[in-house]
């Protein structure tokens, strides 16, 4: 219910924004990280990627997340909601992983004295459904080992940097079901047939030999 002039103006704005979005994608490492994340995780069914302007320079960095490093659950709207990524990192590398988080004094001492020591870094998000009327709001927490060092909120559509994509999503399950999972039965049959062919070829090339004793 808008005029043709307003519609034309909106179309031009959308076109301009599309160009900016794809310029930002091309300027980032999105495509190379997609290739790393899709193989083999997309075939299994679920892909995770961290996308953020980590250093505040206006350049987005993408990092594929292996399935073994993240966990999640569905929200009340049936879409991926709670999501955590967990990984072992060197204490000396914490500043590179979480540059915007102020480390407590005991963690700083560990970084200074034993930078090669491995620590368990956990970062997680879940929707603030109690504030859903205001818009999209996420809880964001950061833990090192068993200690909570940061708990904040981030707001806005697309504000959560941890993106989860699913192949063949199901209404009651966080994880997708990719083509590799669906083909497991056929793969098993193929393995059995290949093994039988090899055994048969081996028997033909090296047949049993008998002689009277």
d(CA 5, CA 3): 5
Rounded Cα distance between 78 and 135, Å, is 17
How many C-beta atoms lie closer than 10 Å to residue 150's C-beta?
16
Taken in order 115, 118, 119, 123, is the CA torsion positive or negative?
positive
Q: pLDDT digits over 116-165, tens only?
A: 999 999 999 999 999 988 899 999 999 999 999 999 999 999 899 999 99
The answer to whether 38 and 49 are in contact (CB under 8 A) is: no
pLDDT of 84-124, one tens digit each?
Answer: 999 999 999 998 999 889 999 999 998 999 999 999 999 99
Q: Which of 80, 29, 35, 85 is nearest to 52 (CA)?
A: 29
Q: Higher model confidence: residue 144 or residue 38?
A: 144
Residue 55 has pLDDT above 80, yes or no: no
Mean pLDDT score of the chain: 90
Burial of 139 (0-12, 13-18, 19+ CB in 10 A): middle
The tokens for 179 are 């083509």
Q: pTM of the predicted model, to two decimals?
A: 0.77
């Amino acid at each position: 219910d808008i005029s043709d002039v307003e519609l034309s103006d909106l179309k031009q704005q959308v076109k301009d924004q599309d160009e900016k979005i794809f310029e930002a994608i091309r300027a980032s490492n999105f495509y190379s990280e997609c290739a790393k994340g899709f193989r083999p995780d997309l075939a299994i069914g679920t892909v995770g990627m961290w996308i953020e302007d980590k250093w505040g320079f206006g350049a987005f960095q993408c990092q594929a997340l292996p399935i073994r490093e993240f966990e999640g659950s569905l929200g009340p709207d049936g879409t991926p909601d709670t999501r955590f990524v967990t990984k072992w990192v060197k204490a000396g590398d914490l500043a590179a992983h979480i540059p915007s988080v102020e480390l407590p004094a005991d963690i700083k001492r560990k970084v200074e004295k034993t930078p090669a020591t491995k620590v368990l870094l956990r970062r997680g998000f879940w929707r603030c459904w109690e504030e859903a009327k205001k818009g999209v709001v996420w809880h964001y927490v950061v833990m090192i080992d068993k200690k909570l060092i940061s708990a904040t909120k981030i707001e806005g559509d697309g504000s959560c940097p941890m993106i989860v994509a699913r192949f063949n999503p199901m209404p009651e399950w966080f994880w997708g079901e990719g083509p590799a999972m669906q083909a497991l039965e056929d793969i098993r049959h193929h393995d059995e047939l290949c093994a039988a062919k090899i055994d048969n070829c081996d028997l033909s090339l090296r047949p049993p030999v008998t002689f009277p004793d």
